[in-house]
Structure 1
């Protein structure tokens, strides 16, 4: 194994355009975009500890040593909270190295995030971005040259170990960038294979349900984003669906079929350059989420997210929550040449207590620099 000088890698955040909730089920599609706000991870040699983590979201470095049960603080206590995705990413790269007869060297991992506002997450997929960037940076520091597919799979393994229900859409956006159509793998099957056969074989094996492909960008629509000021942990909402008895129900099957149809039509609209059709599907995606919310009482639509969507419709756009809802961000698509309407939308959002967030979609090339 070759260990070189310090290595920096970054991964972009994401926004869902359509397909939330359905994408949690293996093989069901969603459309996502990668955005030009990133998490940057720099890996260098560590001294006096096996792993040192520094983050612009923490007041001090965290120094860890390998114990029988995994990484722990130097005094033997468990690793501090908030580092789970970084540690899992380090562990999965370390497991791959071990299977190849090498050992992970002591590493200093420095994390910087532009996916937060004054230390609070914006709902742009910060956990996914830090996982992808950490996998990429640690692997590169250790001399591993990862293909995009391998980078995604390692990040998915690191994530699924923590949250088996996570779709991985944020990881795919972080790896491939731009507009993508994404279908999640069967995470339970993947985790079972990794436990039985190891990381190396799991990386090479087929992953049931998984598919990702790039999509052409919208030709004439601007993406506008606003933050509600209320951070939400996605798993706290998605996990409640199981308690509602929704999974496996007739209602779920109906929702999945409608979501798949919406996403499929939106994909064709992008491929044909039909912006009007895309706007119709964004509106349909909003209605689908509203129907799910009415049926389950999850709280997908808050007062802020409803105001966000209504303001966009009032100026001729189409809008919806991005992701699980309950807070975080919402998106609006509208005519990119309608400068007055875009300005008015931002004013309406601000008046409603929402924070417009300057964001652009980032391509794969830009997201891997």
Structure 2
């Protein structure tokens, strides 16, 4: 039995701008995980997910290609991860095999509601890691990220893959995405192994160390949102005012880079200042595009946090899901959480997950 786990994520700053190559965002990995288990089998394999009623999807092989027995299935990310990783394994002379793959997720509520913690990225990363170990090929972070990113792009091409990066690298992370057009062009000319060994333009990962007095608090509004749909909306609307979008990108870049410097200097007050700045940038972009990023519930979450001297904003695409608060000390948190509960906002007792492996 082979197991691999990948953590969920939350965006701290830089949302929407991060989908453009070279524009930074800050994310954290959180200590809730998706675990993928692989067990070798003969003649037939299966995929089982506890998120989908434990019903296995059976598959067979036709000319080394994985073929599902069911026409419709909810496992797009898993299947994309399998396809890319097995292609990579074959290029290294590995013989493809059968296995039972089981997925277990902590990233959703007990009622099956999504918290917005990046479950599709985490399941992709965990699947890639498990298969690399199963086939005895390297699963260093750079390889896992690029395989998971290629799998993600084949399913949903409008994201930055920042959630994939957080799941791979863990901890606090500054990230800039790659040039997707360049990767697509290279895919037509290179095999998977060659593409993974290349430098991808604009792609960067910078681990950050939070100041010792910094405290991250997470609130969930109970309204799951679709990241891909929201990004699609913004992409469509931004074409109507290209100048406003370019201004947003430049101001977001300046804001997040200043925040990264504040992390490096251990300056919590400056981090808080830039969190508030980033919130205003997102609100302005929301106004310009008529896309709701900060819902009324997220606005209440932020307003209440500010009353307790926390710097708050929506996390990720917005439209519901989570808000984050940065505090400079630990006082007042219980009062905030109590007030949140009265408003139907749930404090998620998550901690930043820092990977200890190389």
TM-score (norm 2): 0.95
Could you tell me which residue of structure 1 aligns to residue 242 of structure 2?
249
Tell me how far apart the structure 2 counterparts of residues 67 and 313 of structure 1 sit (CA, whole Å).
58
CA distance in 2, matches of 1:345, 1:309: 11
Q: Displacement of 1:70 after TM fit?
A: 5.7
Is 2:186 the partner of 1:193?
yes
Aligned position for 1:3: none
Q: Does 1:39 align with 2:34?
A: yes
User: The residue matched to 2:121 in structure 1 has which SS?
Assistant: helix
1:359 equivalent in structure 2? 350
2:304 — aligned with what?
Answer: 311
Question: Alpha-carbon deviation of 1:66?
Answer: 3.6
- Asked if 1:28 corresponds to 2:23, the answer is yes
After TM superposition, give the deviation of residue 141 of structure 1 in Å: 0.9
Pairwise CA RMSD: 1.7
| CA–CA distance in structure 1, aligned partners of residues 258 and 35 of structure 2 | 35
After TM superposition, the structure 1 = structure 2 runs for residues 1-369 of structure 1, keeping only pairs within 5 Å, are 6-49=1-44, 51-59=45-53, 60-67=55-62, 71-74=66-69, 77-81=70-74, 83-117=75-109, 118-246=111-239, 249-338=242-331, 341-365=332-356
Q: Distance between the aligned counterparts of 1:306 and 1:131, measured in 2?
A: 32
Would you say how many aligned residue pairs link Structure 1 and Structure 2? 356
Q: Deviations over 1:247-272 (max 9, x none)?
A: 88111110011000110110111110
Unmatched 5+ residue regions in structure 1?
1-5
SS at match of 1:164: coil
**TM-score, normalised relative to structure 1:** 0.93
What secondary structure, in the 3-state scheme, does the structure 2 residue paired with 1:226 have?
Answer: strand
Deviation at 1:196, TM superposition (A): 1.9
> Is 1:64–1:72's contact at 8 Å kept on the other side of the alignment?
yes
Query: Structure 2, unaligned stretches of length 5 or more?
Result: none
CA deviation profile, 1:68-87 (whole Å, cap 9, x unmatched): 8964432xx42412x11111
In structure 2, relative to structure 1, the CA distance for the partners of 1:119 and 1:181 (3 Å cut) is: same
Answer whether contact 1:135 1:151 (CA < 8 A) is retained.
yes
Mapped to 2, the partners of 1:57 and 1:47 lie a distance apart of 25
Q: Is 2:245–2:285's contact at 8 Å kept on the other side of the alignment?
A: no
Q: How far 1:335 moved relative to its partner? A: 2.9
Q: Using the alignment, how far apart are the partners of 2:115 and 2:96 within structure 1?
A: 33
Measured after TM superposition, the shift of residue 48 of structure 1 is 4.3
Deviations 1:77-103 (A, max 9, x none): 42412x111111111111112222333
In structure 1, how many angstroms separate the alpha carbons of the residues matched to 2:306 and 2:185? 46
Quote how far apart the aligned CAs of 1:324 are: 0.3
Counterpart secondary structure, 1:101? coil
Change (3 A) 1:174 1:273: same
Three-state SS of the structure 1 residue aligned to 2:351 is coil
